[in-house]
Amino acid sequence: MNLNRVGASAKRVLLQLKHDPRSIALIILAPCLLMTILKFVYWSEPQVFQRVAGALLGVFPMLVMFLITSVATLRERTSGTLERILISPVTKFEFILGYAIAFGIASAIQAIFVTTFAIGPLGLGIKGSQGALIGIAILDALLGLSLGLFVSSFAKTEFQAIQFLPVILLPQLLLSGLLTPRDSMPRILAGISNFLPLSYAIDATKKTLFGQGSINGDIFTIVLFLFLLLGAGSLTLRRATH
């Protein structure tokens, strides 16, 4: 692995994001806007807002990065950019690691903005560390990135890439404990939720918000999922769409 090539790959992605105001708005402004709407929806039920908004801090990074990465990777493949990159000395691993670093930086900025906005103006209570919350959000974003890289290999158009969103993320949203505690679900659904990365992201976020125990086990599991998905993404990464 060549660190200079990894750095160059990350710099290229960051420069693309810098010149794409729509992606910047999606990364930073959209979550803040959704949090604001949620605040007014539960204006008369602040306890519900604390529970739902806090859990969504673990969802937004994965959702946003999944959309951006799947579309961006497909666009690079269909335009021939990916093929030109991969016939250069840059390896698939270096390409994916560059993406991970670039979007990790973007997700860190997103997490700082969104958590600060939610804790400050919106009054979201947090008993744990905001730093831990930001770290969890970054890991969630990298999960979304790895899922986006993986599914982009199976799509031929940007519309098809977006169509994977309900297939990949909606079941995780339903079974992650966001809507109802996982231990209150039927046994088979609770068992399935144990194999979904978003379940551990939601658990870690809730524990941090409410100060309910250690998040080390959840973080370890998220990192394990992350490496597995990045490995799968590198194996399925193709140069061009035929």
Q: Which residue is it, tokens 């990894």?
A: 6
pLDDT for position 241: 47
For residues 171 and 167, what is the distance between their CA atoms, to the nearest angstrom? Answer: 7
Residue with tokens 């339903």: 174
Q: What is the dihedral of CA 33, 34, 35, 41, to 10 degrees?
A: 110
pTM passes above 0.95: no
Residues of the chain with pLDDT under 50: 241-242
Burial track 3-21 (b if 16+ CB lie within 10 A, e otherwise): eebbeebbebbeeebeeee
Q: Please state, as a whole number, how many other Cβ atoms lie within 10 Å of the Cβ of residue 227.
A: 10
- CA 75-172-222 angle, 5° bins: 80
| Torsion angle in degrees (nearest 10) through CA of 90, 95, 101, 103 | 140
At residue 220, the pLDDT reads 92
Q: What gap in Å lies between CA 4 and CA 17, rounded to an integer? A: 20
